[in-house]
A and B are shown apart, each in its own frame.
Chain A
């Protein structure tokens, strides 16, 4: 796993920081980050949680849209390792959530993760100087220790994604990273609405609708957020999006 992954690692770093292309989309990039973690690191699932600017956290992207994974993140934004990671700015590693220590520290998170079948959680901070703008969350279905190499690579991927966000900010003349984060979080809402529109118009489940949207955006060279907005506004013909997928 460690030696054969270099070419893929390089491609991933390029993808996370490729902000000069016209179709750069923060939400798409954070989804790529989550997926890459599952491919490159020995973890079962991953996701990105962002600070919402009001002292809370919000789910931005995940390695899959499966309900059980999203349900873990729904708890993670309220309590658990991710919240601790944002507060301290330090990685929070829990190899086994079933230990009494973990249960005592995060009772609600542990039972949520357990219900969804996850046993280990590693939260890596996305830092900008003194601020923590988000958390890269790595989940494992088993008792799991993150190797030193994987911890470093995970943190480097989180940093690269943060740099990507910052660089896009410079390109688009945004003054603060909060402008970026707010935009990314609203993109997430648009994507949820678009998942619903596709699911309501077809027999697709919302979680599969996301895959359809993303591959269509890729195939057509459209920004994921623009495609999702077009689907919700009715300015994009749904049959052109759905038919190739069926």
Chain B
């Protein structure tokens, strides 16, 4: 999965027209920003240096993007010297003229940031930003699955899931993730992956799976009750909650 993140970074440099890119995973704000943080991919020395600087200074665009849950786009870093007194001058000194940090997130699921930089100042065009956002979605998908590999297996029957599923996930699936999360006591990230695995395992469109969950026609068992290997059950088998 790290190779996929590295590929996303390399492709981004070419497609978006930036000089470097990196992916950093972070722990939650509640757990302390410096508690868990790791740059999983980077295209070169400056991308690594910018991450080191933000780690040392405890501030910077990627931390702001992560905390605020939205992109932080700085086309002229030297002109924004007052924003990050520790990070800004050091980053400019290291050769970064523009930095663009995009949060890697799915609603409340915060995974990390996608950090792009340029050695010359200047904004991303609308098309470049659109491409950067699309690449960030691919990185988000890879990170969701990376986290999945560390966690308990989900009931997808080991079936290979095709990349590119996340852009098709809309409102109903997010609401259904929340419901499954509450019903199983798992976090919303695991719930989303459970729903996705069920959809791929059964061949049912993910939105129809979500709709059945919202209508309470489909519930997932508590992991402690049945173990992770069991699929979801219909309410007539286990009764209405």
Contacts and interface: CB of A to CB of B under 8 A. Distances in A.
Interface of A: 52-55, 59, 70, 74, 172-176, 178-180, 182-183, 186-201, 203, 206, 228-229, 232-233, 235
| Chief secondary structure at chain A's binding surface | helix
Contact of A190 (B68, B107, B214): B107
B103 interface: yes
B106 A189 contact: yes
A213 B176 CA distance: 17
B181 A197 contact: yes
A186 B133 contact: no
Contacts of A182: 70-71, 133
Given A182-B133, A183-B68, A186-B107, A194 B73 contact: no
A197 B178 contact: yes
Interface of B: 28, 30, 68-75, 83, 103, 105-108, 123, 126, 129-130, 133-134, 170-172, 174-183, 188, 214, 241
A200 B179 contact: yes
19 contacts: A54-B130, A59-B171, A74-B171, A175-B72, A175-B74, A176-B123, A187-B69, A189-B106, A190-B69, A190-B107, A193-B188, A196-B175, A196-B178, A196-B179, A196-B182, A199-B179, A199-B214, A203-B241, A233-B28
Contacts of A173: 83
Contacts of A233: 28, 30, 108
A53 B134 CA distance: 9
A189 B174 contact: yes
A190 B177 contact: no
Nearest to A225: B69
B68 A70 contact: no
Contact of B175 (A53, A186, A199): A199
A173 B106 CA distance: 24
Contacts of A175: 72-75, 123
Contacts of A194: 108, 178
A235 B28 CA distance: 12
B68 A200 contact: no
A197 B182 contact: yes
A63 B173 CA distance: 21
A193 B177 CA distance: 6
